Structure 1
Amino acid sequence: MIFDHRTYTCRPGTIKKHMKLYEDHGWAVQSRHLGTPVLYGAVETGDVNSYVHVWCFDSAADRAEKRAAMAADPEWQAYLKISAEAGYLASQINTILTPAPFFKTPDRG
C-alpha cells in the first residue's frame, strides 16, 4: 500500500476560486479514476494559500495504471485546460509515502 500526498499552492487570493473550479470540473472525473481520497482539505495554518490531498493505492503499479487512465480521459484533459487557463496554481509538491508497520490502513470501501 502507498499514499500519494499532494500539496498545491495557489496564488494569493485565488484558492476559493480554484477549489470551486475543481469541484465543478475536476472532482467527479478524478474520483471516478482514483477513488475517494483519504483526505482533501484546505490548509488552515501556515501557508493558507495551499491545499492537500492524499490518495491511497495498492501499489506503485496500481497508482500508475489509475493515473494513466485518468490522464487519457478527455474530461480530465478538459479540466486541466480550464485550470491552466485560470492560472490559479503556483506550485505543486508530490510525495509518495508507505505506511508504518503498525499503522492500520483505512477501509477504502
Structure 2
Amino acid sequence: MIIEIRHYTYYPSEFRPFLKYYEEEGFSITSRHLGETVGIMTGISGIANRTFQFFAYKSYEHRLECRKGFLQDPVKQNFTSVADKAIIQQESILIEPTKFSPLFGEKSEKPLMKKEDGSLRYFDLTTFHVKSGRRQEVLDLLEKKLLPLYKKYLSYEVGYFTRHYGETDAVLAMWGFDSEQQRMDQMKELENDPEYQKESTKLYALINGRESQMLQPTTYSPLR
C-alpha cells in the first residue's frame, strides 16, 4: 500500500472559489480515478492557501493505472483548465505505511476515520528529518518506546510512514485532535513526561529536526 500526498498552493483570490468548485465537481472526478481517497484537507499553519490531498493505492503499478484512467477522462480536461488558473505550485510525495501504522499497517486497531457526532477534527502531520542512514533506528525507537507514550497522551493516532523518493530517510507521523488547544495541551503533557523526555532525547540524536503541518479536513473528507 502506498499513499500519495498532493500539496497544492493557490492564488489567494482563487483559493476559496476553487475549494467550492472542487467540492461540487472536482472531488467526484478525482475520487473516481485516483485510488482510495483518504483525506482532503486545508493547511492552517505554514504557507497559506494550501490543500493536502491523500490518495491510497495498492501498489505503484495501481497508481500508474489510476493516473492513466484519470488523464483519459474527457471531464478531466475542464477540471484541469480550472485548476491551472487557480494553482501556483503543486508537489506530490509518496509514502508507505510502517507495519505499526494504524492506517494501512499491520495493527488490528485501525484509526477513527470520522467522529460519530460529525464534528471535524484537526490533524498534525509531522515530518522527522532523519539523519542519513539512521531511519531504521528511528522506526525501532518509535515502535518500541514512543508509541505507547503517544497513545497515552494524544487523542487519535492516524499513522506512521516512510518515504521512498525525495528525502528517503524521512519518517512521517499523523495524529488527530478535537481542537488546536487540545493539541497544545496534550503535547505539553507528553513533553513533561519523564519517560518521554528520556526517549525523545534519543530521537533528537537521530534527526536533524522535525516539522509539523496543521491540517483541517473538509466536510467531505473521508478522514475527518
> Normalising TM by the smaller chain, what interval?
0.7 to 0.9
Q: Among the aligned pairs, what percent are the same residue?
A: 27
The unaligned stretches of length 5 or more in structure 1 are none
Looking at structure 1, the residues matched to 36 and 2 of structure 2 have their Cα atoms a distance apart, in angstroms, of: 14
Structure 1 moving runs of 4+ over 3 Å: none
| Relative contact order higher in (CA < 8 Å, ≥ 6 apart) | 1
CA positional deviation for 1:78: 1.8
User: RMSD in angstroms over aligned alpha carbons?
Assistant: 1.7
Residue matched to 1:12: 12
* AA in 2 matched with 1:64: L
Matches within 5 A, 1:25-104: 25-84=25-84, 87-104=85-102
Q: Distance in 2 between matches of 1:45 and 1:72?
A: 35
Return the alpha-carbon distance in structure 1 between the equivalents of residues 98 and 10 of structure 2: 31
- Partners of 1:13 and 1:36 lie apart in 2 by 30
Q: Could you tell me how far apart the structure 1 residues matched to 2:36 and 2:56 are?
A: 9
More strand by share: 2
After TM superposition, give the deviation of residue 83 of structure 1 in Å: 2.5
Larger Rg belongs to: 2
Aligned length: 105
Moved more, 55-64 or 96-105: 96-105
Cα displacement (A) at 1:76: 1.1
Q: Distance in 1 between matches of 2:82 and 2:53?
A: 20
Greater mean alpha carbon deviation, residues 63-72 or residues 21-30: 21-30
Please name the residue that 2:185 is paired with.
none
1:48-102 Cα deviation digits (max 9, x unpaired) = 2111011110000001101110110001122112323xx2110001001111121
> TM-score, normalised on structure 2?
0.44
